[in-house]
A and B are shown apart, each in its own frame.
Chain A
Amino acid sequence: MATTLSSIQAPVSTICAFSQRPHCPTGTQSLLFVSKPSNYVIFAKTSYSFKPSKIRPITALRATPSSSPPTTFHGQCYVLGDNIDTDQIIPAEHLTLVPSKPDEYKKLGSFAFSGLPTSLYPIPFIQPGTDSTQYPIIIAGANFGCGSSREHAPVALGAAGVRAVVAESYARIFFRNSVATGEVYPIELEHEGVNKQCTTGDIVTVDLDRNVFINHTKGKEFVLKPIGDAGPVIDAGGIFAYARKTGMISSMV
């Protein structure tokens, strides 16, 4: 089980391998399949889940090697079109919420995709009266996450319970922020038009080992692109862990 910050001495705590794994939501909202459970610590999602639950106990001054990342995601999908920008993901009026504050992190999640025009997206991403989503996987078209550099965008998705986005392509800052925060896995499709073959509510599986995306409801399989350059950063656990692993940040004293 993850050790809380308070039980680690201050200087040492800052050199913990900071695991940036997407965390597992509580309740029955979605399932996170992990094919290598022996190396993966599952973090329960609580209202303080943002940082403390992700800290792994350290046994040495150096950053510990991270556990292998999750390789499959499964659940209902929410389908979007092209050019979903950050204002639609999290409208700017909610940017007064500070993502590093646990209660505000949760509030951000409750506003995820509240900027989508209801004429185009009549099914709400988050049911009124609730604060998280039943759709852990997003299927999107091209240029997902375009617009602002606000990290609130991937954070809101992660806080709402999204585990992975499967899109044709990404805007670069959103992609980078997803990798840096570990809030959602940004996965790319090999071919265009997949979102047009899916419907919100379809049961899907994302398999990163085989690089396939399976739509069980429609009985179709699609090829995913390998994660590429971001792989080592994601595998290490985000930019901080990667920096410690490669010696860019030497240990605290």
Chain B
Amino acid sequence: MKTVFVTVGTTSFDELIEAIISPAAVEVLKDRGYERLVLQVGRGTVFPTSKTCSHITLETFRYKDSIAEDIKNAHLIISHAGAGSCLEALSAGKPLLVVVNDKLMNNHQLELAKQLHSDSHLLYCTCSTLTATLRTMNLSILQPFLLGQPQNFANFLDKALGVK
């Protein structure tokens, strides 16, 4: 089943959860072939169940020790702008749509999401433009994200410190 995984990390991001389970958004997801929606809601107060959102297969949880499995099983990841979540999704090679929380505009975490967007590694929107973005998004323009190279650091340091 084509799955969308939504993650907000350790934050509370009710606006995103409400936006993604809205009838308009769910309809767009189904039109694009997604049949299952998994929501990781963190500290949020909105906790949808299959009763509150019956039009798509739904699973909701707050936290897990590791969301690696959920990321692996997803075909699209929708995430808050947290660096950890973004990097985890990108390292797994999954298409990523980052939703910016307007209430946290001065958060420096946005710097990384913005840079990764400008390098075409992820798509970017706000809660109010979420449905429109889902409708028109073209995931094929996303560039693969290559992991950093700590070996370059090691080589530099070995040389600088005279390590053989």
Q: Do A and B bind each other?
A: no
